[in-house]
Every structure is written in C-alpha cells, then in structure tokens.
Amino acid sequence: MTLKNKKKLKTKSKKYTFIDLFAGIGGFHIAFNKAGAKCVFVSEWDKYAQQTYKNYFEKKEPDLFKSGNFVGDIMSVDVKKIPSFDILTGGFPCQPFSQAGHKRGFKDSRGNLFFKIAEIISIKEPRAFFIENVRHLEKHDNGKTFQTIKHIIEDDLGYSFYPQLVRASDFGLPQHRPRIYMVGFKNKKIQFKFPEPIKLQTTMSDIFGGKVDREIGYTLRVGGRASGINDRRNWDSYIVDGKRRRLTPEEGKKMMGFPKDFHFPVSEAQAMKQLGNSVAVPAITAVAREIVKTLDRHYAK
C-alpha cells in the first residue's frame, strides 16, 4: 500500500451517531445512514407513522428498537437519558408556521417543540445539528420567530447557524418543496457550505410512466386530496396520457426519493399523509453527507 493510500484510510469517515427527532417515517434516518452515520435514538408521537417507521427499520436495525430508544412524545422524555450522540436531526412540526396551517408559530403548542430541541442541544452538546421547516418560518411574525430561533442557537447555545432555502427539485426530484434547512456546529470555527444543486434527474412522466405536461409536479402536502384538476388546492391530480390520474403512495414515494424496498403497512390515506409530512430524501442526504465531510475535516486524526 502506498503512503498516499494510507493517508486516505486515515481520513475515512468514522461512524458518527445521530438522533432522529419528530422522525415521521424516517427520511432523515435513511439520509444519514447513506452518509455513514448510525441512529441511536428515535422519537415519533404518531402511532401510524410509528408503524411505517418500524416496518422499514426494525429488521435492519433491531438493536435500536430492543434498547428502548424508539419512543413516542419527545416532551415526556428525560433528556439526560437520551444516549450520547454526534448529530441532532429533525424536521420539527411545520404546521404552526406554514400556509397550510394557521401560522400561529410559538403560540401553537407544536411550535414550542423547538424549545425541546434547544434543551436537548444544551444538555447533550452534540457536535452538530440539522433541522428543517417550511420556508414561511423565515417570514413568520415579521421575521421575529426566525430571529428568536437564530438567537437561541447562536447566543444561548453557542452554536453556529447556517440557514439555506433548499428545494427538492435542486436534488433531482420532480417537486419544488421549498424548505428552510438549518445546520450548525458546536465549534463555531467550523465553516459549512451547503452542497450545490444538481440537474433534475426524474420528471413527472418518469413517476407515472406516461406523458405528463409538467416536468416538475406539485409539492406533496398533507391535505387537499381529490380536489379538482383546476382547483388551486390541487396537488395530487395530473393529466397523464390525456387522462386524469391521482397520485398513489407508490408514486408519492418516488417523488420523495424513498427507496424501492420502502413499503407502507397503513391505509392509502395515512400513507399519503405521511409522505406529505416527510422530507425529500435525496436533498437531506446531500446535506447529511456534507455535514459528515465537514466533521471529518475537523475531527479526523
């Protein structure tokens, strides 16, 4: 083996650990697994989302479930009992800040879940975090909500804060799905740069296996199913080969970038709700890999 190859081995990524909060059906989990990290704790309160999560991950990572580190409501968890970890991840509930909800923000009890994230970071002191929310978080309450989050992370917790608007279509998927991604590091000297967008790799015609007049589809969301094709609330109906078709969970799964072996043990209505609440896996994966690379550059021995 050459000296050059030995150097490469020394800087190869270690097995970072992460926790998956507000886990939904595991989009962050899949992404960070792809980036070479290991999940040590999961929190998801919805019983149907729990079923889907377990259906995919339990056979792959049985120890995670046997250890008692797959839990429900994070608000009832003693933070000190959460295993040590390197990276905190999670898409905290977006409804309090979204157009689809009532935009109540921190006045909504779900909006206060951000403060639980802050508590966990304060007590467990991970090396990094990666959280996401809807784009309207940035403008909610004339920007005060976002400034509060930024202040807590930078001033109260002492972490860096890198926000970026990212679209699913920036990373190969045929839906816009704009979201605010927020990344930060305990060591503020660490510089972070979000990955560059790539060309669209899949179109709606690929999703349906027929001709669709839109390359990029509507953003998947929780409500509004079965609305008319011309209804402004429509997000699940398309004209395919001249005929109206509605998205199925299998097609929605492709639009979100979930793997082929990912299956739903719940009703179609629940599956579509879960997809609408989930994250664009390829976009999350691209950022996860960049976080791991960034940690490698700083911590590699």
**Alpha carbon distance 198, 163 (integer Å):** 19
Label residue 176 exposed, middle or buried (CB < 10 Å: 0-12, 13-18, 19+). Answer: middle
**Alpha carbon distance 216, 207 (integer Å):** 10
Known catalytic residue at 94: yes
Cα–Cα–Cα angle for 75, 284, 282, rounded to 5 degrees: 140
62 phi and psi angles, rounded to 5 deg: -60, -30
**Alpha carbon distance 239, 268 (integer Å):** 21
- Choose, from 30, 40, 74, 94, the residue flagged as catalytic: 94
Q: Rounded to a whole number, what is the distance in angstroms from the first to the last CA of the chain?
A: 19
Residues 6+ positions from 135 with CB-CB distance below 8 Å: 165, 178, 179, 180
Cβ atoms of 197 and 171 within 8 Å: the answer is yes
- Give the catalytic positions in this structure: 94
